[in-house]
Structure 1
């Protein structure tokens, strides 16, 4: 891998040392060599904390982010559904991913008397759901090459499809990238719809 001036990595064929790269003719770029001119694919994530760890969702899966409104508990819903809330005129179920994944919430600092939470509204084809997070979600653009495929043993065997898309490496931080459209089972989706 060689570094371009703009910080993007460039693929090179075979092993070439730095001296040979500097001596390589410049006409490769002028001839439109796609290896040197193709920009690296980027992904835009909405990043948030669950417990003390960082998680991300591709921005195209997030319809909006809002301060969590009043939540009304509903009977006979899964344990990880806090209830329903009115978000811009739509009544949607509010899901607690910490409860869903069995993650212990991070301790609340003593100086924070009132904790504001935020809701990520996820709009799938057949349903909409809100996901509660405790801190303001952050926006992050990263290269696809920074996201590694998650090992199979990390997947939830009770769910047919993988909802962990991968693990992103940003500086010294790991971010678990989720596919929110696969986070619920078909039975859970039917239960929420009814």
Structure 2
């Protein structure tokens, strides 16, 4: 009976973690759940498409699939970090039910596991600013870093998804 209690205490001590892909936009760190990312690749050549929003850089051929490529800094109106230009960028490929999208990031994304308890809800005033853009899942704390956790499926509005699919 006593060994059962010890095992129960060990199981409750194991904290649930969330596995993130972390990257920088501007000077801040952002993360998305690893299960929302199909792959990370060096950004291939992008072909500009007419009549698309400016934050949609165009389309690329990634492993035989033609995928729309979005610049997250431009989408969120974030000023890019100052410093020397990088030789190339990276693309996080996300596959939703209705579409596949690539998101450009300027530095190599990192993998990081955070305890779920270290991710706080975003302050309500941030969430209420624009109801359609409720894509901030929370703010993760890791050592002395703050990581804005995004729900990558909510970055585009339903109207934008329809526009991209047509």
Q: TM-score, normalised by structure 1?
A: 0.79
1:33 offset after TM fit, Å?
7.4
Q: What SS class does the counterpart of residue 125 from structure 2 fall into?
A: helix
Q: Report the equivalent of 2:159.
A: 187
- Aligned with 1:59 (options 18, 24, 34): 34
Distance 1:85 1:175 in 2: 28
Decide whether aligned partners of structure 1 residues 139 and 147 sit closer, same or farther in structure 2, where only a CA change above 3 A counts. Answer: same
Alignment of 1:140-179 (within 5 A): 140-155=112-127, 157-160=129-132, 162-179=134-151
Q: Report the equivalent of 1:87.
A: 62
Q: Report the equivalent of 2:89.
A: 117
Greater helix percent: which structure? Answer: 2
User: Based on CA coordinates, which of the two structures has the bigger radius of gyration?
Assistant: 1
CA deviation digits over 1:79-116, x for unaligned, max 9?
2101100000000100011001100001232xx5x521
Distance 2:165 2:22 in 1: 27
Whether 1:136 aligns to 2:100 is: no
Decide whether aligned partners of structure 1 residues 188 and 156 sit closer, same or farther in structure 2, where only a CA change above 3 A counts. Answer: farther
Q: TM-score, normalised by structure 2?
A: 0.92
Aligned residues: 164
Alignment of 1:100-115 (within 5 A): 100-109=75-84, 115=87
Q: Report the equivalent of 1:31.
A: 5
Q: Report the equivalent of 2:44.
A: 69
Distance 2:132 2:66 in 1: 28
Distance 1:135 1:160 in 2: 28
Distance 1:137 1:174 in 2: 16
Q: In structure 1, list runs of 5 or more residues that go unmatched.
A: 1-26
| Root mean square deviation of aligned Cα | 1.7
Q: Report the equivalent of 1:47.
A: 22
Q: Report the equivalent of 1:12.
A: none
The structure whose RCO (Cα within 8 Å, separation 6+) is larger is 2
